[in-house]
Amino acid sequence: MTMVQAPALELQDIVKHFPGPRRGSVVHAVNNVSLTVQAGETVALVGESGSGKTTLGRLALRLESPTSGCIMLAGQDITVLSQSQLRSLRPHMQMVFQDPWATLNPRMRIRTILEEPLKLHTRDNASQRLERIHAMANQVRLGGQLLERFPAQLSGGQLQRAALARALMTKPKLVVLDEPTSSLDLSVRAEILELLISLREQSQVSFLFITHDLGTVRLIAKRIVVLYLGAVVESGPTEEIFQSPAHPYTRALFSAQLSTDVRQRRERQILQGEIPSPVDLPSGCTFAGRCPMAQPACQAQRPVLQAHQHRQVACLRLPELVAAG
């Protein structure tokens, strides 16, 4: 009998509120988000700045506690675990932040930075730790001579490799990557993406890849989750969404991406109006005020995710969108 492997990450109806600017008000940062990352899979989380991507990534690792909902890590419910209870699980869930300069101790050599997780979470002796450090440095293509340098002596690409190596030192099941290539130039960005693909294939680690760069998404992710104002508006296979985005917001977001084929003509869809305040969310569809297809019903009724092909879309006018192509 074949055992079914639990997803690396499963979020169920996650809600996160922060205190608002007015007394008694709240910021609706994440609104009933559900998503799954299977073992060895990369799922991309995309959307505009302020859509809740980073907050959701931090919630997935319990760096933030949800207001409501359930977080499952490899089949284990970690939603209400205390920080002391989470300590034993930290080796299995790691994060790579956008700015490696801000996350690597400038007073430590790279070798010491990579050794810290092993000291905290393993019983390896000094020689075993050193062996694992050199093996990981080779795996992320970080030359052994760089291990004795301080972060200020490394380039941006080398720093991000070091940050990635640190996250992988404890062989985690899940790594959340928060805009890991946004501060890098194009050539280094391509190298990091190639490295991530290679690491996933070698170790079967799962990635939740947070980004606004749709070009990188197509290269690395199997599935996409599109967020707007803290809620999922569309999710499904990467190629399917790239070829025929269904939700009006997804269409506008993807129309802004430049094609690598100069002969391809793409009609840019410019969104009008302002993004609603996350403190005072509208009662209906939160995208209705900017949507070119909105009707009166959209202002009154909050859409739920509906099945469409191999994906899910939250739009009251989905049947008409599908018919129109």
- Which pLDDT score, from 0 to 100, does residue 259 have? 54
Q: What confidence score (pLDDT) does residue 189 get?
A: 82
How sure is the predictor about 1, in pLDDT bands with cuts at 50, 70 and 90?
very low
The answer, yes or no, to whether residue 23 has pLDDT greater than 50, is yes
Residue 323: its pLDDT value, please? 66
Q: Is residue 114 part of a domain?
A: yes
> Chain centroid to CA 309: how far?
23
Rounded average pLDDT over 144-157: 92
> Is 303 part of any domain?
yes
Q: Domain of 283: which CATH number?
A: 3.40.50.300
Residue 3 lies in a domain: no
Q: How does residue 262 score in pLDDT terms, banded at 50, 70 and 90?
A: very low
Orientation angle between helical segments 186-203 and 156-168, nearest 10 degrees:
20
pTM over 0.85: yes
What pLDDT shows up at residue 193?
Answer: 87
Residue 146 included in any domain? yes
pLDDT tens digits, one per residue of 209-244? 999 888 889 889 999 999 999 999 999 999 999 999
For the cut 80, the answer to whether the pLDDT of residue 183 exceeds it is: no
The pLDDT of 31-44, averaged and rounded, is 95
d(CA 46, CA 242): 13
Number of domains the chain is built from: 1
109 lies in some domain: yes
**100, part of any domain:** yes
- What local confidence, expressed as pLDDT, does residue 225 receive? 97
Q: How far is the C-alpha of 136 from the C-alpha of 270, rounded, in Å?
A: 45
What mean pLDDT value characterizes the chain? 89
pLDDT at 199 over 60: yes
Tell me which residue range forms the domain holding 39.
9-324
Establish if 181 belongs to a structural domain: yes
108-132 pLDDT per residue, tens: 999 999 999 999 999 999 999 999 9
- The answer to whether position 4 is within a domain reads no
- The residue to which tokens 């730790």 are assigned: 129
